[in-house]
Amino acid sequence: MVRFAWTGNHAFVFTDYYRFNGPDPALGTTQVQLPDSPQWDEGNCIGYCFLYSREVRGRIGDHDLSTRLVEDYGYWIRISQLFPLAHLNEPLYLARFHGRSPYATRYREVGLLDLLLRLQYGLLDRPEVGPPFLNLIATKRGRLRRVRMAFLRPLLGARVDRLLKGFQAGQVDLAATRARLPMILQRWPI
């Protein structure tokens, strides 16, 4: 990876990886091939194995702590705005997926933050955020999803849209938006 970065003069390199479920990779792994050019509007597609130069770190700065759970995604977007990203098509990491990971235990929160980051960086328009947002909420307890969707859309749609409009306009920051969304949702425990 270092050789690839050095010889190609790449400031940021990411690689493919293997994933496995359960306690032991010997039980089976799956190779995950990442795209050569990340499609940020579809979500975080950098993976777990990456390398970036001191110049990248110096120009980009630290991770945004208000984006906890999706901090890498925001960081990669910021890097891609200033530096080309190079994909090394070779799996160099072994990632374990399990039910106690932050991604699994806080799936809806990760999904909501992912949508907010895409809105913040202009990868989605506000009307595009509403349906996936309501879908994340409607799948809260697994059953009666269509009923919840029909109920939630008129009740939450306007309140959520006002909040997202303020966020997109810069009147409400990410931390405040992140804090207000659960308050809106708690009023409607479906």
Three-state SS across 120-146? Answer: HCCCCCHHHHHHHHHHHHHCCCCCCHH
pTM of the model: 0.80
Q: What is the pLDDT of residue 190?
A: 43
Query: Higher pLDDT residue, 134 or 172?
Result: 172
| Least trusted range by pLDDT, from 10-19, 63-72, 143-152 | 143-152
Q: What is the mean pLDDT of residues 24-33?
A: 86
Q: Which CATH number fits domain 2-97: 3.90.550.10, 3.40.640.10, 3.40.50.880, 1.10.3720.10?
A: 3.90.550.10
Continuous H helices in 19-144: 54-60, 71-80, 102-105, 107-120, 126-138
Q: Which residues pair with 29 in a beta bridge?
A: none
Share the mean pLDDT of the chain: 84
21 pLDDT band, cuts 50/70/90, is confident
Region for residue 72 given its phi and psi (left: phi exceeds 0; alpha: psi -120 to 50; beta: otherwise):
alpha
Domain residues of the chain, as ranges? 2-97, 106-186
Contact 114, 44 (CB under 8 A): yes
